[in-house]
Amino acid sequence: MYNRHLDTFLQTADAGSFLKASERMYISANAVTKQINLLEEHLGVKLFVRSSQGLALTEAGKLIYGEAKKLIRHSNLIVRKARELEKPKEYTIRIGVSLMNPASNLLERWANASERFPNLRPEVVPFEDSVPVFNDILDHLGEKIDIISCPYQSTYWGDRYNSFHLWDLPLCITCAKTHPLAKRERLTLDDLHGETLICANPGNKPPLDPLRAEIERDHPEITLKGVDYIDTSTFNQLASSTELLLSAQCWSGVHPLLATIPLECGYTLPYGLIYAKDPPQEVLQFIMAVGQVGAD
């Protein structure tokens, strides 16, 4: 931004001699002299009067001495501001979390990718597990919440969001800890004969529709109880019931009085991120970073 020989000029003027200036700058006296000569040639004026007593500033040198300090301060300020503009601005990614939609796995993945995107900062935004609240979030994705990590394929919620697949969740059976099946390590559909099984109505969770059809066809001993949605009230009711719930592995810690047992059935539930239809670039960067960690 300015002629770097001005630094040498200022050091020389303060020191009063080429030799003392060279000692301050850790270069040779000849190098100092050469830089001053080049600066004088560039400016077309004499900066110093040389004598046996040392160096003295000329009138032109005095003028340039005062203005050079201002120029260097101003130049350094411009460079600092320019470098700040080059830095990516910090962007907050708001992640919605609830009992049924925890973000622990998502944030663990982000921890492994965060060094590549220092400008992105995740922020946890809690929300209530209820249908009205979830509907409101979907209607306003990108306003208060950018991303939710959850089972995402459901025609019940409509076509209001984009999704990014992370993995497939094993299906489980959730029941009260007092239920006879609660202490089993694994369950099969045969183990559910004689039980009432709560599950999503046909069409609400398409990945589960084939399983529901298989139960109706091959396991009539299981009584299916359809519901339009599953929220925390479903788990509260289950805690004092003998019924079973067809659930996702991510819901295993929702209620302390419930047990969640893996179900061997060959079906899974897609799990991933849901986000706004037209998200900012930073949200897409976050999603791609998390997805890449999973692919590594």
pLDDT of residue 196: 97
Buried b (16+ CB within 10 A) or exposed e, 2-40: eeebbebbbbbbebebbebbbeebeeeeeebbebbeebb
The distance from CA 82 to its chain's CA centroid, rounded to whole angstroms, is: 26
Beta-ladder partners of 244? 197
Task: Give the domain 5-86 fold.
Answer: Arc Repressor Mutant, subunit A (1.10.10)
Mean pLDDT by 10 residues, the chain (296 residues): 78 88 87 90 90 86 87 84 75 93 90 87 92 90 94 69 90 96 96 94 75 94 91 91 93 92 92 92 92 67
Residues 6+ apart with CB under 8 A from 111: none
CATH fold match for the domains 5-86 and 91-289: no
Domain boundaries, the chain: 5-86, 91-289
- CATH number of the 91-289 domain: 3.40.190.10
Distance CA 41, CA 35 (A): 10
pLDDT of residue 5: 82
